[in-house]
Structure 1
Amino acid sequence: MADQFPSLKNDLILRAARGEKVERPPIWVMRQAGRYLPEYHEAKGGRDFFECCRDPEVASTLTLQPIDRYDGLLDASIIFSDILVIPQAMGMVVEMVDKKGPHFPNPLRSPDDGQYAELLKRDVDVAKELDYVYKAITLTRKKLQGRVPLFGFCGAPWTLFCYMVEGGGSKIFKETKSWIYKYPEETKALLQKISKLCVEYLALQVKAGAQLIQVFDSWAGELSPSSFKKFSQPYLEYIARHLPSRLKEMGLERVPMVVFPKGAWYALDAACDMGYDIVGLDWLHDPAQAVKTVGDRPIVLQGNADPGVLYGSHAAITEAVKEMVEGFDWANRRKGWIVNLGHGITPFVNPDDLRFFLEEIHRLTKTEGQ
């Protein structure tokens, strides 16, 4: 498959992901393609969010927008899509409601509601159901012309489960907590089903052209440490263990894998042993402490500036960058760090302030390395 794509001109993030010493830390930003960009709204037009995801031409255009705008400042692109395409492939209806977010009109309410049994027994063909994602990835790889590598991604089983039973985002996760404490075995059965679909979905993304993958466990922090070990960790480990073997079966090479258990600060040590190459950190982590936790394990850390700093002054952004550069000990280590925010870009960020953040990373890591 690789020979159908232009040769890669910037492999910095791939070298860093392998734990090599690099000339500067690679940078990309979660949600770098999105609504904070004026060109996003222009390209999106009157389409709803999921229409954009299902149109490979539109999805590839949106993916490339930050690469074009921040030319030479970003070292990776991430395909424009959504974690909730897997529940959609499983047969659940998901709508994106303006100013509210994702909404499931008919969420799972108990193992007895009929929909649960149907979801477990349904033979989901992710190759067919999510073909539009793979087409978008292949088209984007070609349009990138080798400028930077392309990330594929999926939602973690636990996070997808939360959405499927809550019906959307939540502050108290009443339905989710009811499931894990009333129906733990039924919860695990569905998590296992989702895990298998994630493996196949990611493998097909790699086949289509994805050069790295990230697993977003956005709601990991809603679990206690003991519950994390039951309802998140085993399924993250399942993906890390089975994706490489599935790729091998398909005649494909293993790609770097990132796990991002947002909010689960207590699970950093465990995350370093799950089988991923890179562990994403949210802004609740202290970089120096994270480096200490990793120790001599061959784990690369990704993160972790507070996205809210982009609402601040340029002086505050510079300070946040300095704290990361020093905390990840960049001047001495020259490896083990991929720059990112601690979560996705939030709405109403001024694109010029993101540019300043990216430029400061380039400036300060160059200075620190001399």
Structure 2
Amino acid sequence: MMRQAGRSLPEYRALRTDVGMLESCFRPDLLAEITLQPVRRHDADAAILFSDIVVPLKAAGVGVDIVAGRGPVLDHPVRTLAEIAALPTVEPGQLDAVVEGIGGVLAELRDDQVLIGFAGAPFTLASYIVEGGPSKNHGITKALMYSEPATWHALMEKLTPTVITFLRAQLEAGIDALQLFDSWAGFLSLKDYREFVAPYSRRIFDAVRPYGVPMIHFGVNTTELLGEMAAVGPDIIGVDWKTPLDVAAARVTAHLTEVGLPAPRAIQGNLDPAVLLAGPEVIADQVGRICAEADAAIAAGDARGHIFNLGHGVLPETDPDAITRAFAEVHAR
């Protein structure tokens, strides 16, 4: 369920006592245990690697930490060509702890369970790097993109190899599928996405496609971008909770057909995380609705399959039993 490990589980909070978020991402024993906790509790079909989009930046030596209640914060924002040139690119050997942790996860999963790895897409990483931390409107990032396009493209050129290296390390360690998160792409217009973002996401999918695992692409508030996000190369397009799955799938298929790319793709999503706070009857009703929308998309020839998921991350106040109930509802259908 997007961020399976984490904030809603008491066993996770106990394990993370006095251990920083990024520190736990680089301790193979904790990485494996935190990844597996929700799989055991909820009987999930897939584990989602416990990590963060800034892990490869941290591994490369970038001064970044995750501040409780705020998110990733950099020691110094990066906004000039000189600062971009000095930004390090991660090397495979700097990811050994992640690789070891993946081995620990795979050793414990059942044969009918898989491991999904992930990375942050260059635009979303760039937003944190330029802003220096989380932003409500990504104004500084977009201002740089508009006013200094050469500087923007230099930053994206610098970040793209780091994302590729991070995903390749996970793939060579044995992950079964991957997801590229462009969490903040929904703040862009279609024109800006095509010009400033799509070429780099496409390069990433092209680089990891030879590994032959399913590739997922997801962003929030991306209703207007779904077709373009599918066109950069994923096998599966993730949909947030604001767009019905059959509507989203039809939009993706129409766009891919128009530009001469293979269609349909599979879809992922898209339960509103708030539904998990609303009680058993609502959970059952909403799970049924989403499965029916996915079935309709498949029947119409607009989707090849469906991965049930949330439309964004689990809310921290969620009762873990509600997540288990939602899993059971999906498995019963």
- Give the alignment's TM-score, normalised by structure 2: 0.91
Give the Å deviation of 1:125: 4.2
CA RMSD of aligned residues (A): 1.9
Matched, 1:329 2:295: yes
1:42-101: CA deviation from partner (whole Å, max 9, x where unpaired): 222211111111100011000000111112xx1100111111012223432111212222
Tell me how far apart the structure 2 counterparts of residues 117 and 96 of structure 1 sit (CA, whole Å).
24
The counterpart of 2:131, out of the listed 150, 158, 166, is: 166
Matched, 1:216 2:181: yes
Change (3 A) 1:354 1:203: same
Tell me how far apart the structure 2 counterparts of residues 332 and 221 of structure 1 sit (CA, whole Å).
25
Q: 1:49 is matched with which residue? A: 21
Tell me how far apart the structure 2 counterparts of residues 307 and 275 of structure 1 sit (CA, whole Å).
27
1:5-30: CA deviation from partner (whole Å, max 9, x where unpaired): xxxxxxxxxxxxxxxxxxxxxxxx11
Tell me how far apart the structure 2 counterparts of residues 192 and 243 of structure 1 sit (CA, whole Å).
17
3-state secondary structure, aligned to 1:130:
helix
1:256-288: CA deviation from partner (whole Å, max 9, x where unpaired): 111113222111122232221111111121212
Tell me how far apart the structure 1 counterparts of residues 61 and 266 of structure 2 sit (CA, whole Å).
36
The counterpart of 1:65, out of the listed 37, 62, 68, is: 37
Match of 2:293, as an amino acid? G
The counterpart of 1:194, out of the listed 137, 159, 167, is: 159
Matched, 1:83 2:53: yes
Q: 2:70 is matched with which residue? A: 100
Tell me how far apart the structure 1 counterparts of residues 29 and 112 of structure 2 sit (CA, whole Å).
18
Correspondence 1:123-134 to 2 at 5 A:
124-134=89-99
The counterpart of 2:196, out of the listed 231, 236, 250, is: 231
Higher relative contact order (CA 8 A, sep 6+): 1
The counterpart of 2:141, out of the listed 166, 176, 184, is: 176
Q: 1:249 is matched with which residue? A: none
Give the Å deviation of 1:318: 2.0
Aligned residues: 322
Q: 2:325 is matched with which residue? A: 356
The counterpart of 1:311, out of the listed 272, 277, 282, is: 277
Change (3 A) 1:148 1:48: same
CA contact (8 A) 2:217 2:238 kept: yes
Unaligned runs of 5+ in 1: 1-28, 246-252, 366-370
Give the Å deviation of 1:147: 4.7
Tell me how far apart the structure 2 counterparts of residues 83 and 176 of structure 1 sit (CA, whole Å).
17
Tell me how far apart the structure 2 counterparts of residues 202 and 142 of structure 1 sit (CA, whole Å).
20
Give the Å deviation of 1:130: 1.8
Match of 2:115, as an amino acid? L
The counterpart of 1:115, out of the listed 75, 83, 93, is: 83
Give the Å deviation of 1:243: 1.5
CA contact (8 A) 2:5 2:37 kept: yes
Match of 2:120, as an amino acid? G
Change (3 A) 1:316 1:145: closer
Matched, 1:289 2:247: yes
3-state secondary structure, aligned to 1:150:
strand
- Give the alignment's TM-score, normalised by structure 1: 0.82
CA contact (8 A) 1:203 1:243 kept: yes
Unaligned runs of 5+ in 2: 258-262
